[in-house]
Amino acid sequence: MLAQEIIRAKRDGLVLAADDITALITALTDGSLSEGQAAAFAMAVFFRGLERDEVVALTRAMTHSGEVLDWSGLDRPGPVLDKHSTGRVGDDVSLMLAPMVAACGGFVPMISGRGLGHTGGTLDKLDSIPGYNTRPDAALFRRTVREAGAAIIGQTARLAPADQRLYAIRDVTATVESIPLITASILSKKLAAGLQGLVMDVKSGNGAFMPTLERAEALAASIVDVAGASGLPAAALITRMDAPLAPVAGNALEVSHAVAWLKGEREDARLSQVVMALGARMLRLGGLAASDAAAQGKLEAALRSGAGAERFSRMVAALGGPADFVERPDRYLPVAPVVVPVPAPHAGYVSAIATRSLGLVVVELGGGRHRANDTIDPAVGLGTLKEPGQWVARGEPLALVHARDAASARIAVASVSQAYTLADKPPIAQPMIIASRG
């Protein structure tokens, strides 16, 4: 069928045949589908939706639009696992989770993204480690996964190229927020990475990409369902994102924090809950633990023994970073020249944090991007962020602003102050794991 006839059918709310979806994605990949046609298709899907079989067909076509990794020759004794998360602020979970799961017997080839909008990106964080290669060739990627158990790298042009083209078009045509398109986009990359188990961390709250719990639940259900139908065992946790997860937000600051956490130097209860819950699901999906309790026990042992930190160290060294990075991160990570406190305007309990605003402060400081090809400043960001429920005295710092210069620091101080609400009573503590699927 002609591309315009396929688009017309979707525009009119008809269900597309798998062959037509494949033909459209083949044309998208070889460039014969114009940008206008791809945008029209995305908009038709945005309004009309896709049935489950259509999403499965779209996912399959996008997965096979490029290379599909095969880990069977890796000579590895454990399952190939990954987690994917949607929009986040102060979220360095991946940096901890990948080496922790590796320390428990999993193999984690984690293909991560860069930050866009108010959310940070794992690759930008890793770029603050001197020498760390986020674009290794296939041989180095495989070697790192085999030897360290985890390798966090960027998406190559060969992996799900149809998704790369369609995502870029969706990004500028207001068609990102479509659950079937997000499902196919995320799963095509994960299936192309050759996984045997995927855990989704779907965030819900004022710092999240999915604005309401209802939408977060719908995305979680769609991903688990379509992954299952595509032969990929998957589970999803809906986790709270109405405050930064870590007490820091910014690239080098988050790496430093993750290393301290892996070395057992920090507790950070809310963040630890999320890391442990996601890790437990990954171990169970991979058959490395029979119950959540057994999985948590394994993860806690890996943390206590330093095995998680050791895996992170191996990964950094294998990908070109300093061999003693975990022992001496401060020697290598860039530091902002200006560090100023944000004084609390009055005493009170932290009762709410406008998390998205804090993410935007980091962008404005230079730690994130306005446009996809902007360069970022790894050293800037926010440190020692007060958490929900903490008491602060008047004038006590709500956070420290790490800035390149005094002018940007001044603006950031005012914005951070506005992002915090202080009240007479502490807020009711909420569980970090809101719901789970699969």
For residue 114, the minimal CB distance to ligand URA (Å) is 11
Left if phi > 0, otherwise alpha if psi is -120 to 50, otherwise beta: which for 205? left
Known active-site residue 70: no
Known active-site residue 189: yes
By rule CB under 6 A, what string of x and - marks binding of each residue 112-151 to ligand URA? ----------------------------------------
| Nearest-CB residue for ligand URA | 185
For residue 180, the minimal CB distance to ligand URA (Å) is 10
Q: How many Cβ atoms are within 10 Å of 283's Cβ, its own excluded?
A: 28
For residue 167, the minimal CB distance to ligand URA (Å) is 6
Identify the CA nearest to 268 among candidates 381, 108, 394, 388: 388
Structure token pair of residue 50 = 């896709």
For residue 413, the minimal CB distance to ligand URA (Å) is 32
Identify the CA nearest to 322 among candidates 330, 200, 297: 330
For residue 42, the minimal CB distance to ligand URA (Å) is 10
Instruction: Please say which residue, 193 or 299, places its beta carbon nearer to ligand URA.
Output: 193
Instruction: Please say which residue, 346 or 371, places its beta carbon nearer to ligand URA.
Output: 371
User: Contacts with ligand URA in 52-111 (CB under 6 A)?
Assistant: none
Instruction: Please say which residue, 169 or 336, places its beta carbon nearer to ligand URA.
Output: 169
d(CA 393, CA 239) in angstroms, rounded, equals 30
Which residue of the set 63, 112, 119, 122 is catalytic? 122
For residue 177, the minimal CB distance to ligand URA (Å) is 8
Instruction: Please say which residue, 205 or 321, places its beta carbon nearer to ligand URA.
Output: 205
Instruction: Please say which residue, 167 or 312, places its beta carbon nearer to ligand URA.
Output: 167
User: Contacts with ligand URA in 204-263 (CB under 6 A)?
Assistant: none
Q: What is the 3-state secondary structure (H, E, C) of the chain?
A: CCHHHHHHHHHCCCCCCHHHHHHHHHHHHHCCCCHHHHHHHHHHHHHHCCCHHHHHHHHHHHHCCCCCCCCHHHCCCCCEEEEEECCCCCCCHHHHHHHHHHHCCCEEEEEECCCCCCCCCHHHHHCCCCCCCCCCCHHHHHHHHHHHCEEEEECCCCCCHHHHHHHHHHHCCCCCCCHHHHHHHHHHHHHHCCCCEEEEEEEECCCCCECCHHHHHHHHHHHHHHHHHCCCCEEEEEEECCCCCCCCECHHHHHHHHHHHHCCCCCCHHHHHHHHHHHHHHHHHCCCCCCHHHHHHHHHHHHHHCHHHHHHHHHHHHCCCCCCCCCCHHHHCCCCCEEEEEECCCCEEEEEECHHHHHHHHHHHHHCCCCCCCCCCCCCEEECCCCCCCEECCCCEEEEEEECCHHHHHHHHHHHHHHEEEECCCCCCCCCEEEEEC
Which residue of the set 10, 170, 240, 270 is catalytic? 170
Instruction: Please say which residue, 122 or 185, places its beta carbon nearer to ligand URA.
Output: 185
Size of the site for ligand URA (CB under 6 A): 6
For residue 257, the minimal CB distance to ligand URA (Å) is 24
φ, ψ at 174 (rounded to 5°): 55, 40
Look up tokens 């400043």; give the residue.
377
Which residue of the set 10, 60, 64, 84 is catalytic? 84
Instruction: Please say which residue, 84 or 314, places its beta carbon nearer to ligand URA.
Output: 84
Known active-site residue 60: no
Which residue of the set 85, 175, 204, 272 is catalytic? 85
Known active-site residue 203: no
d(CA 184, CA 222) in angstroms, rounded, equals 10
Which residue of the set 60, 64, 83, 386 is catalytic? 83
Find the part of the chain contacting ligand URA (CB under 6 A) among 89-97, 174-182, 318-326, 336-344. 174-182
Instruction: Please say which residue, 41 or 167, places its beta carbon nearer to ligand URA.
Output: 167
Which residue of the set 10, 114, 125, 190 is catalytic? 190
Known active-site residue 122: yes
For residue 165, the minimal CB distance to ligand URA (Å) is 13
Known active-site residue 190: yes
Known active-site residue 82: yes
User: Contacts with ligand URA in 178-197 (CB under 6 A)?
Assistant: 181-182, 185-186
Instruction: Please say which residue, 168 or 339, places its beta carbon nearer to ligand URA.
Output: 168
For residue 176, the minimal CB distance to ligand URA (Å) is 6
> How many Å separate Cα 362 from the centre of its chain?
17
Which residue of the set 22, 29, 82, 272 is catalytic? 82
Find the part of the chain contacting ligand URA (CB under 6 A) among 41-49, 177-185, 305-313, 418-426. 177-185
Q: Does residue 408 touch ligand URA according to CB under 6 A?
A: no
Q: Catalytic residues, which ones?
A: 82-85, 122, 170, 185, 189-190
**Interface contacts to ligand URA, rule CB under 6 A:** 167, 176, 181-182, 185-186
